[in-house]
Structure 1
Amino acid sequence: MKKIIIHRLLTALTTLVLANSAVATDVLRLSGYGPVSRSMGGTAVAHYTGPAGMMVNPATLSLAPEGYTFSGGLDIITADISNQSKVDGSRAVTSDHSSNRGPYYAPEFGIIFQQDKLTMGVGAYALGGLGTEYGTDSFLSDDVNGDPTGLDNSSRLLVMNIPFAVSYQFSDNFSVGGSVDAMWAGMNLNLLLTTAQIGGLAAGGNVSGSLVGPLLGMSPTAAHISFTKNNFIDSGASAWGVGARVGAIWQPQESTTVGFSYNFPSELGDLSGYADLTAVIAGPNPVISGEITVKDFQMPGVLTIGVSHNITPDWLLAVDLSRVYWADVLKDIKTSFSSAAGNLDLNFPQNYKDQSVFGIGTSYKVNKLTLRAGYRYATSGIDGDFMFSTLPVNPTRHISAGFGYQLSEDSNIDFSYTYAVTEKTHNDQVLNTPEPMVNSHSQDNVSITYSVNF
């Protein structure tokens, strides 16, 4: 394992220098954890960002004040996503059609305890996710003949982490930390596939099962799969699993900190739940109910190195470089539908690519107020021709700002606002979309926490 991490460190350094242009930022992962990190371009590996630091580099917990530190808050995310057909210019725009999707709320909570050289902590944070809601009357809900089906296209993915972290300060300038995480992932999906899309998937060997023959015998113009729960967090298909990360910080001088962390790939179980499969035919649409499994859906390993430097006692500058190993975990989205009538296996090609991510942030303290700003950029996670309209991962650039205010000697509030700059992605392959189209995606994120030391 040590050789793998060293090899990846060298690979990341080389690739970050030679990185190409991008079409996604952090893909399914959030661009930072907690408002301190988020407002500073997602940087967190080499400076103290509060208890949320256990989500990136647990060793930074050694920089916390003695005693207990509690932090609790909320992430609020809204997205502006639209798809425009290259055939006739029709548009499908995501919006809020139910309590299931948008705005998206993700809670964050952490408590740490430091005594002497040992720091321990536990928390609950959203690791990542996405969501769309296109309703039932856009061109995404039309069958192969362009006729409306009235069937929904929507999605929601939420991945939560519950880290149990520990950090130990071996000397005045060197600390090592690690965490073991309980993880939960939940997915909702309503997806219409035209027979042209199904044919393209079948040609690549991505459709199989005993239901294929009976469905084709109905001469459908489309098929619709639905597994969703219309509530705050619970999802149509979900699973528990584990994750882990290790990290270290080193201070070559009092004003400078160098950080390193490696987040191991997740070990989630297969997401499972109940689903409906609908065949769109000339007449009443038959619906088959059964069980759905999303196989081997995992979050990737992440290697991060960074440095922070106090230009003055009140002015901090931080830079992080990350390599995110998506290619190891998301070659295909593999689904299996099983019912009393038979089974249907669908594999959706994704061919995700490893990402390089650059984050830079700064903070400046003026009395009780700390002002923060940052920028984040990443290379491509997926080629446009493999993109789903219901799983958009487009934004490449995040611009962020925020502040912290000391309410009392022992408590403070932190706030951040992040804007994901509008990005357009072209999908010209009729496989994961019903027709060639252009996807446009921007995003707004607000994060706020209250922290107290005692």
Structure 2
Amino acid sequence: MKFKLNTISMVTAACLASTGQLAQATEVFRLEGFGAVSRAMGGTAVAFNVGAAGMMTNPATLSLMAPGSELHLGLDLITTDINVENQSTGESVSSGTHSSNRGPYLAPEAAYTHRNGDLAYGIGAFAQGGLGTEYGSSSFLSRAAGGLNTGLENSSRLLVLNIPFAASYQVNEKLAVGASVDAMWQGLNLDLLLGAGQVGALIGAGRVNGSLLPVLGGLPDMRGAHFSLTKNKPLASGVESWGFGGRIGLTYKMSNDTMVGLDYAMESQMKDMDGRATLTAIDGIAGQIPLAGNIRLRNFQMPAKLDFGLSHRFNDRWMMAVDVSQVFWEHAMKDINVGFVADGGGTLDILLPQNYKDQTILALGVAYQIGNWTLRGGARLATQALRSETLFAVIPATPRKHVSAGFSYAFSKESSLDVAYSHAFEETMGNPGGTSNSADPIQTTHSQNNVTIGYTHRF
């Protein structure tokens, strides 16, 4: 038992240390599935055995695992294709790897599970999601009002890590119930330029206040304001926080071949993210006036989620799964609430509107087993959670249509390799401009590819 606990500690620590470059999320800030088995089948995971990654969706599926212990190690590699076009001038800029702060996007995962009789339990460390963009400092996104080039960065990187402690109990031959409590960490890097028109729109809507507001308003030729809360390193974030989450779930065997599952994940309970930042006032006459201070992002939460799933095995080789999910973004993501306190005195509070919509997701998956091989495929379709009028170029979390494929190969009863590939089809969204979130009319396009690899050892 001492060996097992030491293994858990080392695996969790390794995963925590490796999440410096996290995957661009594919459904707003959430990955579209956890583990290669689920990912290859369109992210379905509610009503069949997806291994240790089941603790991230429906912990009751841990009761579907074989008796004994399992150690799971995995890695996501995601490449993105993100472009923003200025609809007025025709200029465009692509997100790239302009610094050590971004890509390639890597999301490691690790977990240990054990099943003994009717009880199964596990601990893991999984990347829940995030986002990442890097537009550099010379595009139209770095121009303040009046076409003033600032040379300031526009970029983002959000990381969300879950460390679930999960357990499942087989109540009878048909019903299993499970639950998890998750320690959660999140960190954000952000460089964002707001033009004078955007600042004015926020002030007019009553979304800016604080003692620095009249100071900024008193500048002779105010052109904009820039926030920088970024640590330009592979690890570390400008602001970060810890908190917790959790979920409950069940599986019910309707027959030997058909199973249904249900789970609910609570909205996260994260502390405010805080750290150091620089607020730069941009003036056409006085130039750039940087103010260093402390910054806080208040009540930034991951949403609650409800899943219903069905799986059916047609014969010894073929099975299928269907999941329907509702993600409650509307409650979790109304505003980005920023509070800044300058070192020399003065405060500035800003509410950046987001007003996300709740999201409905349909996921389908099939699997075919032949010998030591299991072949998988899937698809996933989600409604759009973002609104065009509140779209930020640095937060283009718009993909909602995916296809996936993958396989598993069993080297022996003790070890197996799982591989999945998923493609997010290009999604286009425009902001009409003249809003608090975009000075110019812009159109973003975003697609991406994701490869997931997992290795499981049973003992």
- The normalised TM-score by structure 1 is 0.93
User: How far is the alpha carbon of 1:173 from its aligned partner?
Assistant: 1.5
Q: Which residue of 2 aligns with 1:159?
A: 160
Q: Say if 2:60 is the partner of 1:59.
A: yes
Q: Which residue of 2 aligns with 1:103?
A: 104
- Which of 323, 328, 342 lines up with 1:325 in the alignment? 328
Code of the residue aligned with 1:366 in structure 2: it is I
How well do the aligned residues superpose, as a CA RMSD in angstroms? 1.1
Which structure 1 residue ranges, 4+ long, deviate > 6 Å from structure 2?
none
Within a 5 Å distance, the mapping from 1:23-102 to structure 2 comes to 26-102=27-103
User: How far is the alpha carbon of 1:409 from its aligned partner?
Assistant: 2.1
Q: Which residue of 2 aligns with 1:119?
A: 120
Write the deviation string for residues 398-445 of structure 1: whole angstroms up to 9, x where unpaired.
Answer: 111111111222101111111100010011042211211111010111
- Which of 435, 438, 442 lines up with 2:447 in the alignment? 442
Q: Say if 2:294 is the partner of 1:291.
A: yes
Q: Say if 2:146 is the partner of 1:145.
A: yes
Q: Which residue of 2 aligns with 1:336?
A: 339
Within a 5 Å distance, the mapping from 1:5-404 to structure 2 comes to 26-218=27-219, 219-281=221-283, 282-339=285-342, 340-404=344-408
User: How far is the alpha carbon of 1:231 from its aligned partner?
Assistant: 2.4
- Which of 408, 412, 421 lines up with 2:412 in the alignment? 408
Distance 2:27 2:48 in 1: 20
Code of the residue aligned with 1:125 in structure 2: it is F
Distance 1:151 1:283 in 2: 16
Q: Which residue of 1 aligns with 2:9?
A: none
SS class of match (1:54): helix
Write the deviation string for residues 25-69 of structure 1: whole angstroms up to 9, x where unpaired.
Answer: 621111000111111000000011110000000000001111101
SS class of match (1:277): strand
User: How far is the alpha carbon of 1:317 from its aligned partner?
Assistant: 0.3
Q: Which residue of 1 aligns with 2:431?
A: 427
Write the deviation string for residues 319-370 of structure 1: whole angstroms up to 9, x where unpaired.
Answer: 0000000111111110011113311111111111111000001111111111
Contact 2:27 2:398 in 1 (8 A): no
Write the deviation string for residues 214-267 of structure 1: whole angstroms up to 9, x where unpaired.
Answer: 112223212110001122342100000000100000011111110000000000
The 3 A distance-change label for structure 1 pair 233 and 53 is farther
Code of the residue aligned with 2:278 in structure 1: it is D
Contact 1:267 1:298 in 2 (8 A): yes
Contact 1:277 1:288 in 2 (8 A): yes
User: How far is the alpha carbon of 1:284 from its aligned partner?
Assistant: 4.2
The 3 A distance-change label for structure 1 pair 42 and 233 is farther
Contact 2:193 2:226 in 1 (8 A): yes
Q: Which residue of 2 aligns with 1:451?
A: 456
- The normalised TM-score by structure 2 is 0.92
Code of the residue aligned with 2:453 in structure 1: it is I
User: How far is the alpha carbon of 1:194 from its aligned partner?
Assistant: 0.5
Distance 2:394 2:297 in 1: 16
User: How far is the alpha carbon of 1:107 from its aligned partner?
Assistant: 1.1
Code of the residue aligned with 1:332 in structure 2: it is D
SS class of match (1:312): coil
Structure 1 residues without counterparts, runs of 5 or longer:
1-23
Distance 1:293 1:395 in 2: 29
Distance 1:304 1:406 in 2: 29
Write the deviation string for residues 192-222 of structure 1: whole angstroms up to 9, x where unpaired.
Answer: 1110110111111111111111112223212
Contact 2:212 2:348 in 1 (8 A): yes
Code of the residue aligned with 1:201 in structure 2: it is L
Q: Percent identity?
A: 46
Task: Count residues in correspondence.
Answer: 431
SS class of match (2:37): helix
Worse-superposed segment, 229-238 or 360-369: 229-238
User: How far is the alpha carbon of 1:106 from its aligned partner?
Assistant: 1.2
Contact 1:25 1:377 in 2 (8 A): no
Distance 2:112 2:234 in 1: 24
User: How far is the alpha carbon of 1:315 from its aligned partner?
Assistant: 1.1
Distance 1:398 1:290 in 2: 42
Distance 2:224 2:92 in 1: 20
Distance 1:337 1:377 in 2: 39
Write the deviation string for residues 372-395 of structure 1: whole angstroms up to 9, x where unpaired.
Answer: 111001112021111110011111
Distance 2:252 2:91 in 1: 55
Distance 1:94 1:104 in 2: 13
